[in-house]
Structure 1
Amino acid sequence: MASPGPSSAPAIRPTRRLAPAAPNAAGVLPPDLLFDVLLRLPAKELCRLRAVCRSWRSLTSDPLFAGAHAARHPGPLLLAKFRDDEARVHVVDLSGSVVKRIAGPDGHELLCTRLHLACVASKGNSCHVLDPATGAAYALPESPAPEHVNHENSRDPYTFFASGRVASTGECKVLRVFNRTEFDAFDQQQLFEVFTINGGVSNAQWRARQSHYLFVEANNAAVVGGVVYFLTDCAYDLMLFFGVNTGIHPDCIASFDLGTEEWRRDIQGPISSGLSMDGANATEEYRSIWHKLTLSELKGSLVLAYHRRHQSLDLWLLTDFERGLWVKEYSIQTESAIPADEYFVKPLLVSDDGRLVIFLASTGLLLIYDPRTNSFSEVEMRRLDAVGLYTGNLLEFTRW
């Protein structure tokens, strides 16, 4: 992971003519020199220095400066929600340092996104979009799509949200799932709706979309390339416990395309295909897989993470959706690095030097695995409630 600093990228000088300093202005730096000086400072300090004067605010907000600063200070930034701070989202770096704090509504969870925006939502049907660069917040409407107004699920909402960007149009969309009101109420459908964040007045309401024929695990979803991927609901695991073989595999994956706003065909994961369900022990092993799988995104591909208790963490990358081809990219010996009862192991990113950043949802820890030394290290920060990737620029104002 490249270390940010003055030597991390060549100096970039402005190609736009800057206003000259006023004559006889004692102590005022020439514009070109001020550009170079401010360029060396981290984003955290520049966000504070914007309050010095209008000219500094104008300079540091200029897209030219913002682009030059991003080139000079590479390295991923994370969006984090800490367990001891329910009201704010934090932008942090991989050293654990807080770069910026953004106010948000209490009691909302941070969605695991890879966007220039942050999304926070509650199970009670409240979703807000936050702009880390400006601190602006936008509350999505809570009223359902017209087709779902009188539906039981929307009258007593229990909701999940996912958000992603459509590459072909640049639109950011949110998918809302009205879940079943009762865990075992199989006569109730999950309801799905889409909202376009930057779609203008004409799209300022939720649009009802077709429900999936299987129940999906809305709380275990990943967005890759504008497609939302879901594992099947663990309710099928419960049915298997009572001896009802539905034929639904724990690594069966559904996918919803945010661009077309339609479901794609389901694909089978690489885990359960080699297992037999004959015998009590085999059935128990098959059932246990449901609670060891997590979906994520790495290097632009869908990842299925399989955490074997006290053994290993296997990461499978989907290489060909149409043919359903998977490749095991990592098989990491976890030993005592990851607790045996950790049920939600989510890989977040691969750094430029090959290190893997992993989030442990149960314990709230962020780990870095180095394949060169086969070792884990813990990022020193407060316990996390949720974490995602920030792909925007804190110095450049976002226009929704």
Structure 2
Amino acid sequence: MALNGLRGGGWFTRRRLWGLGAAVLALAALAGTIVWMAGSDDRALDAACDGVLPAKEVRAVLGDGDISVSNRTEGTFDVGVKAGARDEGARANTLAVRCQVTADGKGSVRVTIAGAPRPRTRYGIDGLYPSVPGGDTLAVPLGHGWSGLFGTDNARQDDSEDGEATTAVLLDCAKGGSSLLITVETTLGGVTLDDPAARPDFVRTATATAKAANAHWGCGARLGTPVRTVGLPVNEDEYEPLLGAKGTCAGVPTAARSAVSTARETARDRAPRETCALGARDGSPRYHLDAYYGPYAEEARAEYADAPTQDGPTPADKPAGRLGLSAYWASATCPDGSEDALFLVRAAGTEDNTRRRPDLPYERAALKAFAERSARSHGCGTPVTPGR
């Protein structure tokens, strides 16, 4: 995904104003945007993210010291919006809530809440949703009944310098195919993700915000339970034999011609994005298999729709097909009007159109096995896969 972090500018930041006890409400010139400026840390924190940011959880992570708060809310959310609707008026989820809390010397919590699906007129404008890091490491599912991810860009250092992580929680609303995506970037000083006792601190704000947002916007999604343990994102050197895979790579075949015999994977536990990284015997990368659900599937298709240089059909045009010389995609219909799931297989370490002697039959077989297991675990239909 091309998205990284929060987008947009013009955030209003409020520092502690000593002696000012009354809250001030400012209406921004931008229609639909409300910016709160308060005279005390606690009042600003209570108002952040349209009032759904959990002050107790944020304080538990950042401490009771001085903080600065920035906040912006714009757009609307409609639980009746359908993901597959072509009528622009039926895809009117423009809700975008952003807030950030920073504690000097302690860290920061940055939150985005986005309604999905977005109007098609928003495609190609800065991206649709914040991403979860997924370059050298694989994000892991939150589990505990949540549809969510926990990821980081940092290589594990086994010291106190890697305290940055992103948590995403997807709320599939009770009707209409609409959803809320809550993304929280947490940075904590003096904390390492290697410490299993510390990792829940990076997650607690996201799940508590999701619970409050679910009620605030009448989403009616199924919620998970408190996350007391969370896995560690999977590093590049954590590959295992593909034949023994039990998670996102389960059922994917090996390939002698492509020298595919190892895999990096995560558990498959309602995660809205899944990855299976295939490699050679020494772990060197060969292919990436990716599954996208809900807003992440919408985002991926929107990026292809905004790529005029792409020759031939893309995932934005049809359910299945071939991209370039060595990439395929498939799709599956998901329940309750949700966005169709999207599945991709791509050669690792090279552009799709520069592959020499690509092993196309294997790529189709790997994609089919991966997509079928992933779709089944999410309650989606049998995937439409490419024929050649």
- TM-score normalised by L of structure 1: 0.29
Structure with the higher strand share, 1 or 2:
1
TM-score (ref. length: structure 2) = 0.30
* Larger of the two Rg values belongs to structure: 1
Q: Which protein has greater RCO, CA pairs closer than 8 Å, 6+ apart?
A: 1
